[in-house]
Amino acid sequence: MLALATGTHVFWITSRAAGMAALLLASLSVCIGLAMGGRLIPRGTRDLRTTHEALSLATMAALAVHALSLLGDSYLHPSLADVTLPFASSYAQPWMTIGILAGWLTILLGLSYYVRGRIGVQRWRMLHRFTAFAWLLGLVHALGEGTDTGAVWFLAPLALVALPALVLLIARMLGGVSTGGAVRRA
């Protein structure tokens, strides 16, 4: 009924909104995760694990809405395979495939938290580090395929949450943030 009242473009708008929400939520989650993992948050402060988990679950829900709402898009007319399988869609390659890979990696790596007892905490931590890679793929997808890529209203909020996460990720990769203590001194 809503689609008839607003036109069939409601599916495209819903997908855009959910994709942007997923990217913002994932950026916040990555930022919090890197800050917790790098021991940048003082020990006496509130535990942010619950916030990190909630943001991760919200990201996964937004990703599902982002992909599945496209099934009603009257311009694209994608199949379920087009929005869930890498290389299945001919639309906007390679950006579509990058987005699908980012989505699946984000979901699988996020859900791995719930099986860490079965796979072992050390193995889970190693896997969990690839979440930042999935997030980077999501950024590439949004900046490569997104219809709002050049819009200030899209780039400004994205920069607010993505740049701190990028700085923390680069610091982690360069060894500036320790996983066992505090920020290392140069």
Q: How far apart are CA 4 and CA 114, in angstroms?
A: 40
Burial of 14 (0-12, 13-18, 19+ CB in 10 A): buried
Q: How far, in Å, CA of 3 to CA of 12, rounded?
A: 11
Domain spans of the chain, in order of start: 2-173
CA distance 41 to 113: 21
More confident residue, 116 or 45: 116
Surface-to-core class of residue 5, CB atoms within 10 Å of its CB (0-12 exposed, 13-18 middle, 19+ buried): exposed
Task: Determine how many CB atoms are found less than 10 A away from the CB of residue 167.
Answer: 14
**What's the confidence (pLDDT) of residue 38?**
79
Is the predicted pLDDT of residue 181 greater than 60, yes or no?
Answer: no
Yes or no: say if 91 and 76 are a contact pair by the CB < 8 Å rule. yes
CB–CB of 133/102 below 8 Å?
no
With b meaning 16 or more CB within 10 Å and e meaning fewer, what string describes 93-113?
eebbbbbbbbbbbbbebbebb
User: pLDDT tens across 131-173, in order?
Assistant: 999 999 999 999 998 778 888 988 998 899 899 999 999 988 8
pLDDT at 48 (0 to 100): 87
At 21-65, the pLDDT tens digits run 999 999 999 999 998 887 777 766 667 889 999 999 999 999 999
The tens digit of pLDDT for each residue in 64-101 reads 999 999 999 888 899 999 999 999 988 888 999 999 99
pLDDT number for residue 148? 81
Q: What is the pLDDT of residue 147?
A: 77
DSSP string, 100-116: HHHHHHHHHHHHGGGGH
Return phi, psi of residue 177, to 5°: -120, 125
| 4 against 148, higher pLDDT | 148
